[in-house]
Amino acid sequence: IMGAAVTHLALTTQPNRLIAASDLHTYSSLSTAKGQPIFIEDGMMGMASHLPGLGLEVDLESLGEPVQVIAA
């Protein structure tokens, strides 16, 4: 999820304002989302999903039970 958010931010930043972006999703084997919308090709990152939002489906099972639930 974090990798998709960072990639979205990098892809929507004006090129003259972007210093660098990293493929942080490859640093860990733990995944909290189904599918992999981020791709790297020829040293460039991109998004390969047309799903809304961050382009992924959250894997609720991998997140486990909530630590706290706040209700109105």
pLDDT for residue 24: 75
Q: Alpha-carbon distance 28 to 15, whole Å?
A: 28
pLDDT for residue 14: 95
pLDDT single digits (tens) 16-64: 999 988 877 778 888 888 877 788 889 888 888 888 888 889 999 999 9
Residue 52 lies in a domain: yes
Residue 45 lies in a domain: yes
What total number of domains does the chain contain?
1
Residue 71 lies in a domain: no
**Complete DSSP assignment for 20-48:** ----GGGG-S--SEES--EEEETTEEEE-
Alpha carbon of residue 31 to chain centroid: 10
Residue 68 lies in a domain: no
Host domain of residue 41: 2-63
Nearest to 53 by CA among 27, 40, 30, 35: 35
Residue 69 lies in a domain: no
Residue 30 lies in a domain: yes
Residue 53 lies in a domain: yes
Q: Which residue has the higher pLDDT, 47 or 66?
A: 66
Residue 28 lies in a domain: yes
